Amino acid sequence: MRGRAYRAVLVAAVLAAGVVRFEWGPHLLLFVYWMEAGVAATRGAVQSLFAALPPSAAYRPTATRMPFPLESLADVRGSIRLSSRLPPVYPRSVPYVLLAVIPLAAFWPLGGLLLTGAVAPFVETFAPPATLALAVLVVVVDQASRFVGWLRSGAYESTAATGGDSRKYLVLVFVLVVVAPLAVDGAQAAGVGRLGLGLAAVGARAGYDLVELRYPGWLESMVFSDETVGTERAVETPDGEPVETFDSDRRGTLAAAAISGVLASVLGLMLFPVLFGGLVGSLVGGEVLGAPYGHVVGAAAGAAAVVGCRVLVELVVGWVVSGHVVYRIYPDAVVAYNELTGAAQWSVRRDEIAEVTTSSDLFAAVLPEWYDTLKLRTVGGETHRLGYFEDVDSAARLLDCERTR
């Protein structure tokens, strides 16, 4: 707490010195605050990746609310340690982080254009002075110090990421980039000088810090609080050694991820970014190569670039979700264990398996055997998939179930 107070005083002192010594105006300070909002949102997103507790099911979007980005990651159990100096990262947090980041990332750049007068007459267009680097440095150091302090406190061990902060951030950014500039313009029209408005802007920033000191984490309270923490049902694994193990073939995992990326790009909401990429590519291609050949080549390249990015994302997701899964068949159970995250993903008692079906995927008929899969259906109606690997016949025989096509 004391460290945060010292940092708040330091930031306020630097900003006040900028107003008095370097003649920073109120609009320039709002621009600094806009940059700080982006850095703070990035810090919050990174912190969410380390949240060790599972999110509450109440925060998981349903089909009636909004799409859930990279939904398959939300069901991944376990964690990945990227460095011995950092806590492990939990893949299940990634979709919730995206829920918070996507709306802010869509609006935050527009806020910068508004504050610089590039797209709307809220303020006069200005070129940031060289001394602005000092304010940016102080903001970045402040946010980095908060991140390091959060890690050292071990707060990540008792938190869950749910992406619930996006509304508060959007409201604050809206006030910062729309309401505040209009208020400054009104005060200037009333005769208030640059020095007075600048110090008032610094005072508003100091007041924000005082609220944070009095109510720690109030802005992130929807993300980091006990109310957002859910429960995770334990996966029961038998004692002893398995009868047989089947490693997932990463060729099948990558092929499935690539197919999923292409299909996701042309179906659903992702079609709009693809069309936009094609439009931008068409405009650029027309300027560079000339019409009409340049428009066609540019549109194809722009659309392909968006599809390629989505495929790359799906490849990473597939690598995490199923690229390192080992299927262990015990005398009385089947367990899917992810060696990358170090945790069992699911288990099924063999006496509860009602049916096994193989390679029902549309592409299984044209791809090699390493793309084969098994789907287990239990007497309770649950389904689990084993894939991708070549020797599905041996797995089916071990499960004592009739294999169907």
One-letter identity of residue 164: G
> Pairing between strand 343-349 and 383-387?
unpaired
**Helices vs strands, H then E, count in the chain:** 11, 8
One-letter identity of residue 291: A
Sheet of 373-378: strand order equals: 383-387, 373-378, 353-358, 403-404
Rounded CA-CA distance 311/313 in Å is 5
Distances in whole angstroms, Cα of residue 136 to Cα of each of 36, 265, 380: 8, 37, 58
Distances in whole angstroms, Cα of residue 325 to Cα of each of 227, 314, 343: 32, 17, 10
Q: Which helix (H) or strand (E) holds 61?
A: none
The pLDDT value recorded for residue 266 is 85
Q: Tell me if 222 sits within 8 A of 165, measured CB to CB.
A: yes
Shortest CA distance to 161 belongs to which of 75, 100, 219, 70?
Answer: 100
The pLDDT value recorded for residue 64 is 46
Rounded CA-CA distance 12/198 in Å is 12
Rounded CA-CA distance 311/302 in Å is 14
* Phi, psi (degrees; rounded to nearest 5) at 162: -130, 0
The pLDDT value recorded for residue 125 is 55
Distances in whole angstroms, Cα of residue 17 to Cα of each of 21, 29, 32, 192: 5, 12, 14, 19
Rounded CA-CA distance 91/145 in Å is 25
pTM of the model: 0.83
Regions of the chain with pLDDT less than 50: 64, 221-226, 402-405
* Location of structure tokens 């099924």: 348
Provide long-range contacts, Cβ within 8 A and 24+ apart, for 294-300: none
